[in-house]
Amino acid sequence: MKVILFCQNAYAFGIMAPIRDRLQTESHEYLWYITKKLLDVFPFKKENFTTSILDLQLFQSDVIFVPGNEVPYYLRGLKVQIFHGLAGEKKGHFHIRHYFDLYLTQGPYFTRRFNELKSKHQDFDVIETGWPKLDVYGQNTNTFDTEKNQILKAHNTDTFVLYAPTFSPSLTSAPFLIKEIENLAVKTGFLIVIKFHDLMVKEWIIAYKKLAEKIPNIIFQEEKNIIKFLLQADILVSDTSSVIYEFLLLDKPVISYRNIAENMQWDDSRTYSKLTEKVLDNIENDPYKSQRRIINQEFHPYKDGQSAQRMLNAVERCIVENGVPENRKLFVARKLKINALFGKPILDIWDKNKKRKITALLITFNEAANIDAVLENISFADEIIVVDSLSTDGTIEKIKEYPHVKLIQRPFKNYTDQKSFAMEQASNDWVLFMDADERLTDTLKNEILKTVNTEGLEPVAFMFIRTFMFKNKVLRFSGWQSDKNYRLFRKSKVYFDDERIVHETLIVNGESGVLKNKLIHYSYSDYEDYKGKMIKYGQMKAIEEYQKNKKPYFYHFIFRPLYKFLNHYILRLGFLDGRKGITICYLNALGVYSRYKELKRLRTLKNPSDS
């Protein structure tokens, strides 16, 4: 069975991990899908994962597990909703969006509600399995006791309070309880751990971090999986967060503020006050202990740690009985929403008939901000080689997280020298040579795979047209509208011109072509970064001209930069890019000025009479 673990938010990792464990045990093939925003926090980089919907289309899955609200309708596989929490009172929990073939419910309360909806819509099935995130409750709930006892001893207390509010701006208690949390910490000395949702408003993340710096027995915790802290805590403080139910199932007291549930079986306050009194009362008297039994019976009665296994059994039965759906039929409006979120399906898709292998090459220096994204982007290549110029910003450490990537560290001389060396290392004739700030779209990746594996292919090198990104917005003019470079070629038919040391030139012995789909170039991240690039390129260009014995004159410092600006801003329509156009055209002109300034400096060093 081929399975996709479909993750749109970081909380999905803890929900999916028990399913992944079962898949590994039973030798099923699986692929993690994560959105690009999750690359830095994804904890399983040594496993198969992707951020590419094309990869999911090519994977041809049998099952897609989704702890979120959306999944592309055009992907093959049984689309299975497994939920991201237990808060049935939240808006949308029982809203049918028609993306799913099967709902695997957590307990009787949810099963009844979804069976009612099944009778109404009649286009999905419902099976009760339990929730995999809570499988740990049926295993060893004392796993973190030693760590808990050490922390409590270090803070000279015996009580662990967890504050875990929702992120929803209309429901969160975070803005209103900060002073109450501080008072609780000061008056009782209890250890208070603050655990926020990934989507919490940044203002409150900053405010509570400052509070934790101020009060020694308050800890702001950024670890992603909350299960550890649920197991360690003696009492939970929250609002309308689904984590309340996860905690109640451990048979421990909860205090909430202005929860929107209709039938609460715990201590809830309608005003943001008296937190200290409530904590002390619930710890000493536990007035809602008997009511918690109702939650356990209705929301998640499974204590055997086998929910993930029941899920696998359920989907296998469904496939045996009904086969594997090729896609999900939707109304046009729903299709448009999915296309906006994940992109349109690629229709003329590569047939996976591999005739030639590809080596992907990168040269890097201090690319920590880009390296995860670009390595994932080129992960389809048969070989990946990174030649790094002794980075100092964590780039090397990140590269080493990818066991299939070959890392070579080599001092940088110039771009042509470094790229020529990298190309020599490739084992395959077809080479994809990328910059770290470039990204292939799914359509371009599909075109690459189809092109390289075409019988009787005549061109030996292909240019990619590049889309210049000014931060995260497209720069449509300013001289970049016709930007294209060689990125895909046969190494046996090309070489780099060693007379060029920056903006290196590829010499092609044979026919060239241009691919239809565009390469995304995230060149401008901020002003200082792009300015530094332009000055660096200008200075390296000066070395080229110095080696050719060129001499700068007055007009090089005035008219050449001015011409560069006017050419790009007026003739190349930079004015249509607004303020972005002014910025880019100015910095490009600055690069020209820097070239001649550096050329003059080099000549002066050799011959002071040139000054």
The confidence score (pLDDT) of residue 571 equals 82
Residue 45 maps to a domain: yes
Q: Is residue 449 part of a domain?
A: yes
> What pLDDT does 609 receive?
57
Adjacent-strand bridge partners of 462: 488, 513
Q: How far is CA 445 from CA 54, 441, 518, 584, in A?
A: 8, 6, 10, 29
Q: What is the predicted pLDDT for the residue at 596?
A: 76
Residues 369 and 476 in one domain: yes
Are 16 and 111 within one domain?
yes
Full-model pTM: 0.80
**Of the residues 463, 495, 524, the one at which a domain ends:** 524
- Write out the residue range of the structural domain in which residue 362 sits: 358-524
Q: How many CB atoms lie within 10 A of CB 324?
A: 16
pLDDT at site 608: 63
pLDDT tens digit string along 199-216?
Answer: 899 999 999 999 999 999
pLDDT score recorded for residue 91: 62
Q: Report strand pairing: 267-269 vs 358-364.
A: unpaired
Residues 8 and 102 in one domain: yes
Q: Say yes or no: 326 and 289 in one domain.
A: no
| Structure confidence by residue, pLDDT tens digits, 565-597 | 888 888 878 888 888 888 888 888 888 888 878
Number of domain units in the chain: 4
Q: Between helices 202-214 and 174-188, what is the axis angle to 10°?
A: 10
Q: Is residue 417 part of a domain?
A: yes
Tell me if 457 is assigned to some domain.
yes
Q: Are residues 190 and 228 in the same domain?
A: yes
**Do residues 379 and 486 share a domain?**
yes
My answer on whether 366 and 497 are in the same domain is yes
Measured torsion, CA atoms of residues 487, 488, 491, 492, in degrees rounded to the nearest 10: -130
Specify if 353 maps to a domain: no
Do residue 363 and residue 281 come from a single domain? no
**Residue 352 domain flag:** no
> Which own/partner contact pairs does 452-459 have at CB distance under 8 Å and 24+ positions apart?
452/355, 452/356, 452/358, 452/488, 453/350, 453/353, 453/354, 453/355, 453/356, 455/355, 458/511, 459/510, 459/511, 459/512, 459/513
What pLDDT, on the 0 to 100 scale, is given for residue 500?
Answer: 75
For residue 358, the model assigns a pLDDT of 98
Q: Which residue has the tokens 């009665």?
A: 301
What's 204's domain CATH number? 3.40.50.12580
Give 345's DSSP letter: P
The radius of gyration of the chain from alpha carbons, rounded to an integer in Å, stands at: 29
Residues 60 and 108 in one domain: yes
The predicted pLDDT at position 90 comes to 62
In a domain, 286, yes or no: yes
Span 58-84, pLDDT tens digits:
999 999 999 999 999 999 999 999 999
- Return all residues near 545 (Cβ < 8 A) that are at least 6 apart: 595, 599
Classify 517 as helix, strand or coil.
coil
Residue 92 is part of a domain; what is its CATH number?
A: 3.40.50.11820
Tell me the sheet residues that pair with 163. Answer: 194, 237
Supply the CATH number for residue 503's domain: 3.90.550.10
Residue 93 shares a structural domain with residue 28: yes
Q: Does residue 347 lie in a domain region?
A: no
In which residue ranges of the chain is pLDDT below 50?
A: none
Query: Do 420 and 448 belong to one domain?
Result: yes
pLDDT of residue 154: 96
If asked whether residues 426 and 372 sit together in one domain, one would say yes
Q: How far apart are CA 566 and CA 598, in angstroms?
A: 22
